[in-house]
Amino acid sequence: MKILHTSDLHIGHSVFGIDREDEFRKLFDWFREVVEKEGVDIFLVSGDVFDVYFPSALAVELYYDFLLSLNTKVIITGGNHDSPRHLKAPKKILRRVGVEVVSGSEDDFLSVLEFDDFEIVCVSYLREGILRKYDDDLIEAIRKVYKRDSKKRKIATGHLSVYGSSVSGSERDIYIGKIEAVPSFVFEGYDYVALGHIHKPQEIKRGIVYSGSPLQLGFKENYQKRVVLLDSESMEYKFIDVPKFREFVSLKGSFEEVREKLSEVKSSSFVEIELDEVVSSLSLDELRRDDLFITKINMPFKKKERIKLKEVSPREFIKELFRDDEDLDEILRVVEELRNED
């Protein structure tokens, strides 16, 4: 059987309040194409289905529409961003349409799905309260959760940090008790471990793999996004590149350099700008493009010297206060008129 491993969908994610519905729809269309083209039998999500604990109505609608449109078996496991109660509520109904959910609640964090010649040990994000029931040593407790004596080929899911993984910087730190990461030996005996939480696709060691998040979730994630296609018979796997549905562009330099670079940026891109000089608000308006989403513009901080009021005239004070304002002459004219009225 062919298994498509992904994670960290973060449905409902936005960038500085800018909705990304169109990107999610394009991503889900692409997933359906891959499922059909590659003959995928199982679509596997290793945690962080949603971006927040209480997703919007639109995010929930996108989720259900996607699940119901996949013409294959689906396995969903909860991550640290997911509400176990929210994922668990439709569990029985979704099972009727071929969707298995492991939500992450205390009574629903582990499920073993048996197939003819292999099994999938579905494990959600593990909270400390769950692990304390196995062992006070949390590493040992995690090892016990995953321990299996089956002679079948074994696949597991996991939503945690494993020592040796390379983070992108946009992941939310997760701890299990005081444990930031776990050693790979907790997965001893498994042929493939489908990991989630780290957004950068990578192989920790043979068979222990992060698929990464399929959508870019921030400006720091400027690397190729991927999913993993696994053959359950040979346990061979390969990464498949995910197309970019929107660009994240970081521009640095002088005002003129940035303005020139902006003309080359693709429409609908998210853009952050860092200027190496201070310019007026009117100049900043020249950087605006109706077809771009400029999320922030940073300029160097210019510390102004303190003015001793007793040592300067009112006119000098006004000039200093508004020296970067293009309407300075008009401000001084108004001040003179007010003085003459007195």
What is the DSSP code string of 136-191? SSHHHHHHHHH----SSEEEEEEES-BTT----S-SPP--BTTBS-B-GGGGTT-S
Residue 280, number of CB atoms within 10 A of its CB: 12
Domain that holds residue 135: 2-241
Letter for the amino acid at 48?
Answer: D
| Same domain membership, residue 57 and residue 202 | yes
Residue 303 maps to a domain: no
| Same domain membership, residue 252 and residue 228 | no
For residue 177, the model assigns a pLDDT of 79
For residue 228, the model assigns a pLDDT of 98
| Same domain membership, residue 327 and residue 282 | no
Angle at 204 between CA 202 and CA 208, to 5 degrees: 95
Of 224, 241, 258, the residue at which a domain comes to its end is 241
5 contact partners, CB below 8 Å, separation of at least 6: 44, 46, 194, 209, 211, 227, 228, 229, 230, 237
| Same domain membership, residue 153 and residue 124 | yes
- DSSP labels for 191-219? SEEEEES-SS-EEEETTEEE---SS--ST
Give the mean model confidence (pLDDT) for residues 228-233.
Answer: 98
For residue 179, the model assigns a pLDDT of 87
For residue 318, the model assigns a pLDDT of 66
Residue 167 binned pLDDT confidence (cut-offs 50, 70, 90): confident
Residue 247, number of CB atoms within 10 A of its CB: 15
| Same domain membership, residue 88 and residue 187 | yes
Q: How many domains does the chain have?
A: 3
Give the mean model confidence (pLDDT) for residues 56-74.
Answer: 96
Q: Coil, strand, or helix at residue 311?
A: helix
| Across 18-22, 92-96, 175-179, 230-234, least confident range | 175-179
| Same domain membership, residue 268 and residue 210 | no
Q: pTM to 2 decimals?
A: 0.85
pLDDT at 330 over 80: no
| Spatial separation of the C-alpha atoms in residues 87 and 212, rounded to whole Å | 21
For residue 337, the model assigns a pLDDT of 72
For residue 317, the model assigns a pLDDT of 65
Residue 40 maps to a domain: yes
pLDDT at 10 over 70: yes
Strands of 2-6's sheet in order across:
99-102, 73-77, 42-46, 2-6, 226-231, 237-241
Token digits of residue 54 = 């209480």
Give the mean model confidence (pLDDT) for residues 44-69.
Answer: 97
| Spatial separation of the C-alpha atoms in residues 63 and 316, rounded to whole Å | 62
| Same domain membership, residue 126 and residue 213 | yes
Residue 82 binned pLDDT confidence (cut-offs 50, 70, 90): very high
